[in-house]
Structure 1
Amino acid sequence: MGGVVLLLPDGEAESDRPPSPLSFTRLLPLGRTLARAGRPEGLVVHSVHYGSRGWNGTDARLAVDTTEAADEVVRRYGDVPVCLAGHGFGGRAALAAADHPAVQAVLAMAPWLPADEPGAEQEPVKQLVGRQVLIVHGTNDHRTDPDLSYRLAERAKKVNRNICRFEVHTDGNALRQHHAEVLALARDFVLGSLFPHPYSRPVADALAAPPPLGLRMPLAAGFGKSLRP
């Protein structure tokens, strides 16, 4: 056993209903890509099944369920590095639960984040210290605000240099228009974060660059075609 990826599907702001099957289906291509690429390293991929689909305010149920899933990984596999990979509210859960001792990397795709309102408490970032973090966001996302993920990344970069953010130009919330490139980016980041694999040049440059360059890195068309399979 070399490592574990926990896939965190999207959810809703307020709900006690069971998770949507569609939210799990949307992460299947990512899971298959990572499982196939990481098989030689002993990488295992699991989906997290929330108790319900709602974040539910200060209860932060999706983050709590993610932490409990990481606890289960430790019980089942022992001391292995874990990557939390989520979309939408799953991306928010991945960022929020990053302080679990087993978590080494966080992949947040189109993360849903609360608006920065005057007087409101900001989304925390200190839990990201010591983790490798990649945020991916489409510039035409009308469901989750890409400006909010940029501002969170900007604050996080002040306490953790190992964070980068890629922008997928003209893509929306589902990141379908450049799906192959997004999967290649995720594969590159996860393998480079959990195992002794070098990052591709764009990811290495994004991690090393100061804001705003490393937090507004464009995902180039055709990314991944020359990378390892």
Structure 2
Amino acid sequence: MAQRPPSAAVLVLHGGRETGTEPPPPGLLNLPGTRMRPFARAVDRAARATGGNVLVTQVRYGHRGWNGDRAHPFHDAVAALDALREEAGDELPVVLLGHSMGARAALRAAGHPLVRGVVGLAPWCPPGDPVTQLAGRDIVLVHSNRDRMTSPQATQSLTARARRAGARTCMVTVRGGDHAMIRRASAWHRLTTGLVTGLLGSGSLPGPVGEALALPPTAEATEGTLDLDLDLDPGPDPGRFRARTRA
């Protein structure tokens, strides 16, 4: 029996290095790729629970590093999106889920016609990176306040720049987390699942996230920044968050 074509897709982009032209190691030896497997599984389970036919797959990289102007992972992401477009058509909604370097690639590739939104985890957001390609997209970036590998301040700045360029943006701070998302792992997984399914329309976004995405282009960076522990409250169903009432 022929498989049904997907109704939506999530492309997962793992982290990497600033430089490195060799290919990533295979299988479990690719530690950044292995780190994203629990996220992919959680999103896949949540999507299946809704009855939707959502394709969740990792983007394969040809090189371990970003490599300056060559921006190898960005081109790998675009190639994966082009292949998906050829297979499933022009109307397939896609959310890009990236970590660190993979989040940078996702943000750069978000101008592709299939992309509806980006969820970036501990993203690498250099100040000079473009944002015009994010216009009309939903962008939610999640960063630990204790990240020592990539800058949460740079992430907050990018959300403001992207909003001024026409994107709908939000940042969520995970207090006490880390770049590898090992500390408070369950919170990272639940939040990410809720965000991805919410952007796909197969779930509901947390109210404060929806409100932040609706902010006007002139809003300050701090207005679109939420605190996981102060603004969002895990509901009884994993992957669902609701507004938390501040004391």
TM (norm. structure 2) is 0.84
Residue number in structure 2 paired with 1:82: 94
Kept after mapping to 2: 8 A contact 1:16/1:53: yes
Q: 1:73 to 1:92 in 2, by over 3 A?
A: same
Task: Determine if contact 1:208/1:214 at 8 Å carries over to the other structure.
Answer: no
Q: Indicate the residue corresponding to 2:187 in structure 1.
A: 181
Q: Which letter does structure 2 place at the counterpart of 1:157?
A: R
- Deviation, structure 1 residue 35: 0.5
Per the alignment, in what secondary structure is the counterpart of residue 23 of structure 2?
coil
Structure 2: tracts of 5 or more residues without a match: 1-5, 240-247
Secondary structure (helix, strand or coil) at the match of 1:93 reads: helix
Is the 1:181–1:223 Cα contact (8 Å) retained in structure 2?
no
Q: Cα gap change, 1:66/1:106 in structure 2, threshold over 3 Å: closer, same or farther?
A: same
Paired with 2:227 and 2:152, the residues of 1 have a C-alpha distance of 13
For residues 208 and 73 of structure 2, the distance between their equivalents in structure 1, rounded to whole angstroms, comes to 31
Decide which of 206, 216, 227 is 1:218's aligned counterpart: 227
Match of 2:12 among 7, 12, 35: 7
2:155 aligned to 149, 168, 173, which one?
149
Q: 1:11·1:53 contact (CA, 8 Å) conserved in 2? A: yes
Residue 214 of structure 1 deviates from its aligned partner by: 4.1
The CA deviation at 1:137 is 0.5
Residue 43 of structure 1: aligned partner: 54
1:206 aligns with 2:208: no
Map of 1:119 onto structure 2: none
The one-letter code of the counterpart of 2:14 is P
For residues 212 and 4 of structure 1, the distance between their equivalents in structure 2, rounded to whole angstroms, comes to 30
Render the CA deviation track for 1:147-203: whole Å, top value 9, x for unaligned: 111111111111235110001112110122222222222222222211254322232
Gaps of 5+ in 1: 117-121
Structure 1 window deviating more from structure 2 (75-84 vs 42-51): it is 75-84
Structure 1 window deviating more from structure 2 (49-58 vs 192-201): it is 192-201
Q: SS of the residue aligned with 2:234?
A: coil
Counterpart of 2:244 in structure 1 is: none
Tell me what 2:245 maps to.
none
Sequence identity percentage: 34
Give the number of equivalent residue pairs: 223
Is contact 2:18–2:67 with CA below 8 Å preserved after alignment? yes
The CA distance in 1 between the partners of 2:199 and 2:234, in whole Å, is 17
Q: CA deviation at 1:58?
A: 0.7
Please tell me whether residue 62 in structure 1 is matched to residue 67 in structure 2: no
Work out the CA distance in 1 between the residues paired with 2:202 and 2:168.
16
Runs of 4+ displaced beyond 6 Å: none
Q: Distance in 1 between matches of 2:133 and 2:139?
A: 11
CA distance in 1, matches of 2:204, 2:20: 41
User: Counterpart of 2:93 in structure 1: which amino acid?
Assistant: P
Contact 2:190–2:238, Cα closer than 8 Å, also in 1:
no
Question: Would you say the 8 A contact 2:12–2:59 is kept in 1?
Answer: yes
Q: Structure 2 CA distance, aligned partners of 1:216 and 1:145?
A: 14
2:64 paired residue number: 53
SS of the equivalent of 1:35 reads helix
How far apart are 1:22 and its partner, in Å?
0.7
The one-letter amino acid of 1:181's match is A
